[in-house]
A = this chain, B = another copy of it.
Amino acid sequence: MTDTSQYDALPTDTIDPRQVIGGARASGTGQVFHAVSPWTGEALEPAFTAGSSADIDAAAQEAAQAFASYRHTHPVDRAVLLETIAEELEADRPTLVARAHAESALPLARLEGELRRATGQLRFFADILRDGWPFDVRVDTGSTGPTPRPDLRLMQVPLGPVVVFGASNFPFAFSNAGGDTAAALAAGCPVIVKCHEAHPGTAVLVSQAVQRAVAKTRMPEGVYSALLSPAHEFGAELVAHPNVSAVGFTGSRTGGLALMKVAAARPRPIPFFAEMSSVNPVVILGDGANAQTAQGFVASFTLGAGQFCTNPGLLFVLDDARGKEFVSAAAVGVAEQVGQTMLTPGIARAFSAGVERMLARPGVTERASGTPGESEFAPAPRLFETTAGAFQADPTMQEEIFGAAALVVRCTDTADILACLAHLEGQLTATLHVTAAEHDAAREILPALELLAGRLIVNGWPTGVEVAEPMTHGGPFPATSDGRSTSVGALAINRFLRQVTWQSFPAELLPAQLTDDNPWNLPRRFVCRETA
- Give residues in A with beta carbon < 8 Å to B: 68, 72, 120, 127, 136, 138-140, 142, 149-150, 152-154, 157, 159-160, 260-261, 264, 268-271, 425-426, 434, 436, 439, 442-443, 446-447, 450-451, 453-460, 466, 468-472, 474, 476-478, 481-486, 489-491, 494, 497-506, 508-509, 525, 527, 529, 532
Question: A472: which of B154, B459, B478, B509 is its contact (CB, 8 Å)?
Answer: B154
On chain B, the residues within 8 Å of A481 by CB distance are: 269
Asked if B439 and A138 make an inter-chain contact with CB atoms under 8 angstroms apart, the answer reads: no
Asked if B527 and A468 make an inter-chain contact with CB atoms under 8 angstroms apart, the answer reads: yes
On chain B, the residues within 8 Å of A469 by CB distance are: 138, 140, 152, 154, 525, 527, 529
Asked if B458 and A483 make an inter-chain contact with CB atoms under 8 angstroms apart, the answer reads: no
Asked if B486 and A499 make an inter-chain contact with CB atoms under 8 angstroms apart, the answer reads: yes
Q: Complex Cα distance A470/B152, Å?
A: 6
Asked if A439 and B509 make an inter-chain contact with CB atoms under 8 angstroms apart, the answer reads: yes
On chain B, the residues within 8 Å of A439 by CB distance are: 506, 508-509
Q: Complex Cα distance A295/B70, Å?
A: 39
10 pairs from A and B in contact (CB 8 Å cutoff):
A138-B469, A260-B264, A264-B264, A436-B506, A456-B501, A456-B503, A458-B505, A471-B501, A476-B498, A485-B499
On chain B, the residues within 8 Å of A425 by CB distance are: 268
Shortest CB–CB separation between residue A25 and chain B, in angstroms?
Answer: 30
Q: Complex Cα distance A154/B488, Å?
A: 13
Asked if A499 and B527 make an inter-chain contact with CB atoms under 8 angstroms apart, the answer reads: no
Q: Complex Cα distance A264/B261, Å?
A: 8
Asked if B504 and A460 make an inter-chain contact with CB atoms under 8 angstroms apart, the answer reads: yes
Asked if B460 and A503 make an inter-chain contact with CB atoms under 8 angstroms apart, the answer reads: yes
Residue of B nearest to A155 (CB): B470
Asked if A458 and B499 make an inter-chain contact with CB atoms under 8 angstroms apart, the answer reads: no
Q: Complex Cα distance A458/B494, Å?
A: 27
Shortest CB–CB separation between residue A142 and chain B, in angstroms?
Answer: 8
Asked if A470 and B532 make an inter-chain contact with CB atoms under 8 angstroms apart, the answer reads: no
Asked if B468 and A149 make an inter-chain contact with CB atoms under 8 angstroms apart, the answer reads: yes
Q: Complex Cα distance A447/B188, Å?
A: 14
Q: Complex Cα distance A120/B509, Å?
A: 31
Known contacts A159-B483, A268-B425, then 13 further A-B pairs from the complex at CB < 8 Å, ordered by chain A residue: A138-B470, A152-B470, A436-B506, A439-B509, A443-B509, A454-B501, A458-B504, A460-B504, A469-B527, A470-B527, A474-B499, A486-B499, A491-B499
Shortest CB–CB separation between residue A309 and chain B, in angstroms?
Answer: 15
Asked if A140 and B457 make an inter-chain contact with CB atoms under 8 angstroms apart, the answer reads: no
Q: A450-B157, A477-B269, A505-B456 are in contact. Are A140 and B468 (CB under 8 A)?
A: yes
On chain B, the residues within 8 Å of A458 by CB distance are: 503-506, 509
Q: A139-B470, A153-B470, A470-B153 are in contact. Are A446 and B509 (CB under 8 A)?
A: yes
On chain B, the residues within 8 Å of A472 by CB distance are: 154, 499-501
On chain B, the residues within 8 Å of A527 by CB distance are: 468-470
Q: Complex Cα distance A187/B331, Å?
A: 45
Residue of B nearest to A481 (CB): B269
Asked if B484 and A498 make an inter-chain contact with CB atoms under 8 angstroms apart, the answer reads: yes
On chain B, the residues within 8 Å of A525 by CB distance are: 469
Shortest CB–CB separation between residue A264 and chain B, in angstroms?
Answer: 5
Q: Complex Cα distance A450/B158, Å?
A: 11
Shortest CB–CB separation between residue A460 and chain B, in angstroms?
Answer: 5
Shortest CB–CB separation between residue A407 and chain B, in angstroms?
Answer: 22
Asked if A140 and B470 make an inter-chain contact with CB atoms under 8 angstroms apart, the answer reads: yes
Residue of B nearest to A508 (CB): B439
On chain B, the residues within 8 Å of A127 by CB distance are: 529
Asked if A152 and B442 make an inter-chain contact with CB atoms under 8 angstroms apart, the answer reads: no
On chain B, the residues within 8 Å of A501 by CB distance are: 454-456, 470-472, 489
Question: A466: which of B149, B483, B532 is its contact (CB, 8 Å)?
Answer: B149
On chain B, the residues within 8 Å of A468 by CB distance are: 140, 142, 149, 152, 527, 529
Interface-centre pick from A477, A501, A508 (highest chain B CB count, 10 A)? A501
On chain B, the residues within 8 Å of A159 by CB distance are: 483-484
Residue of B nearest to A266 (CB): B477
Q: Complex Cα distance A436/B507, Å?
A: 11
On chain B, the residues within 8 Å of A498 by CB distance are: 454, 476, 483-484
